[in-house]
Amino acid sequence: MPLLRRFTPKRTEPKAFEELLSEHLDALYRTALRLCAGREADAEDLLQDAMIRAFERFAELRDLQAARAWLFTILVRTNLNRLRGERRRREFVVADLGEQEFENALADWHGISTLEEEMDRSDLRAVLAAALDTLAADLRTTVWLADVEGFRQREIASMFGVPEGTVASRLYRARRELRLALAKGHSVVRKEGNQ
């Protein structure tokens, strides 16, 4: 009996990458924003650097079912590299902005109004963002990937290149610190609201 082969699009085609990117761009941007402690310009730069790297390595993606984790891994590792570079020399990686395919994907991207955007207007959203921003970068990234983006500890460990136990420990510490920060922030909001 002959083997049936699944049709897979050529991954060297810019259109295939553009389609993949458009499917995950909102979540990637939200994650980049958290990785950069809410600084939009830094998040946009991080996302651009990561997606240029992803485009350059798109032909290496073996399984399209794993594309989401692959994209997030590139985003997290790009961020780690940028943080390491900042610590050493306070220099930023400059990316080539001439990637026409990346520009086309960004031009076609129109974020839809989500529940998160609606929550943006509430005091709770501000308190949560402030609490997340108080966490150390590795804790903030870990809790965001696990609790918001829904990655498993094993996947996060792979993204960071650390043992799974390290991720579990970071999650525990991050959630504990977040609870304390949220309790403190919530009492501040109550006091301000009562005045």
Over the stretch 70-114, which tens digit does the pLDDT of each residue have? Answer: 999 999 999 888 888 776 655 444 444 445 665 665 666 555 545
> How many other CB atoms are there within 10 angstroms of residue 165's CB atom?
10
Residue with token string 């780690």: 80
Listed in sequence order, the residues at least 6 apart from 152 whose beta carbon sits closer than 8 Å to its beta carbon are 146
Residues 6+ apart with CB under 8 A from 89: none
- Phi and psi for 155 in degrees, rounded to 5? -65, -40
pLDDT of residue 192: 47
- Beta carbons within 10 angstroms of residue 122's beta carbon: 10
Q: Quote the mean pLDDT of the chain.
A: 76
Residue 129: count other Cβ atoms within 10 Å of its Cβ: 16
- Read off the pTM: 0.56
Q: Does residue 59 carry a pLDDT above 90?
A: no
Per mean pLDDT, which range of 9-13, 39-43, 149-153, 189-193 is the poorest? 189-193
pLDDT of residue 195: 44
